[in-house]
């Protein structure tokens, strides 16, 4: 899949691209479906999958679904406070549905990016790979609610800043669902290079639901982000006892 364009709404200039919120396990034999910056999606994630899967550009959980079934994914989290240096780094926490045989995605997420030594935050929605960014101010500590629902007839994605009450929603053509997920996606440069991870501390995902049921009910794969030297960049915690919450934690840029 082609990475979506990353535009700073306030600056209205293209400065990079995001690997549109999907866990990566590529179609190439060396990495387990899909195409993306550095990889693809774990199409084969099952109950028998390893307890933790290494991935070059995603940390979180992904669940397999019946291809073409009506599928939804939802989660909540607080906007993390980034500790920025001059390095250009970013993550995009959110929730979404991978569609059309892992070729594209519909998702809702937050950009959390270090750019020119300062932190930038803004919301974005993607319908079948078509992305719209929003300039509405977002601040660390705000509670964000994200959701995506896909049927063969219609797609709906929505992001709400619960703290301010601002909601953005998009609808579009339907698609055939392939998987559902929640977690921290990678962000790439305009040239397609996956950016490093900013110091974001710990990010807690709560109210995580797949098809209206606790995330754990779908037996999702647990995925941690690991760089080319096998160093863990973002660690993914175990699911809570209720099966609806987990942590992602900064480990390495």
The mean pLDDT values, 10 residues at a time, for the chain of 253 residues are: 37 31 26 30 44 95 96 98 96 97 95 94 95 93 98 98 98 97 90 91 98 97 96 98 98 96
Q: What local confidence, expressed as pLDDT, does residue 189 receive? A: 75
- Inter-residue contact 106 to 96 (CB < 8 Å): yes
User: Which residues lie across from 157 on neighbouring strands?
Assistant: 148, 170
**What is the Cα–Cα distance from 110 to 185, expressed in whole angstroms?**
10
**What is the Cα–Cα distance from 164 to 185, expressed in whole angstroms?**
24
Q: Where are the alpha helices (DSSP H) in the chain?
A: none
Residue ranges of domains in the chain:
4-250
Q: What local confidence, expressed as pLDDT, does residue 161 receive? A: 98
Give SS3 for 217: helix
Q: What local confidence, expressed as pLDDT, does residue 46 receive? A: 41
Phi, psi of 83 (to 5 degrees): -110, 105
Phi, psi of 218 (to 5 degrees): -90, 5
Q: What local confidence, expressed as pLDDT, does residue 11 receive? A: 27
Which CATH number is associated with domain 4-250?
2.60.120.700
Which of 142, 155, 135, 136 is closest to 76 using CA atoms? 142
Helix %, strand %, coil % for the chain, to 5?
0, 55, 45
Can you read off the two tokens belonging to residue 74? 């939802």
Q: What local confidence, expressed as pLDDT, does residue 48 receive? A: 42
């Amino acid at each position: 899949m082609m990475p979506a364009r990353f535009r700073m709404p306030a600056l209205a200039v293209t400065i990079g691209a995001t690997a549109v919120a999907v866990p990566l396990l590529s179609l190439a034999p060396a990495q387990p479906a899909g195409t993306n910056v550095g990889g693809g999606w774990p199409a084969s994630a099952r109950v028998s999958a390893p307890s933790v899967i290494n991935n070059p550009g995603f940390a979180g959980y992904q669940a397999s679904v019946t291809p073409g079934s009506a599928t939804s994914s939802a989660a909540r989290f607080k906007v993390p406070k980034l500790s920025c240096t001059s390095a250009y780094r970013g993550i995009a926490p959110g929730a979404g549905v991978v569609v059309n045989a892992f070729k594209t995605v519909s998702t809702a997420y937050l950009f959390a990016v270090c750019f020119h030594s300062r932190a930038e935050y803004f919301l974005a929605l993607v319908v079948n790979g078509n992305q719209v960014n929003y300039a509405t101010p977002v601040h660390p500590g705000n509670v964000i609610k994200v959701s995506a629902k896909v049927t063969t007839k219609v797609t709906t994605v929505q992001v709400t800043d619960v703290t301010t009450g601002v909601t953005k929603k998009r609808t579009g053509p339907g698609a055939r669902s392939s998987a559902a997920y929640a977690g921290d996606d990678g962000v790439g440069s305009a040239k397609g290079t996956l950016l490093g991870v900013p110091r974001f501390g710990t990010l807690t995902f709560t109210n995580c639901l797949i098809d209206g049921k606790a995330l754990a009910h779908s037996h999702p794969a647990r995925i941690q982000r690991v760089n080319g030297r096998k160093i863990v960049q973002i660690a993914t915690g175990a699911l809570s006892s209720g099966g609806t919450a987990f942590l992602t934690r900064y480990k390495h840029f």
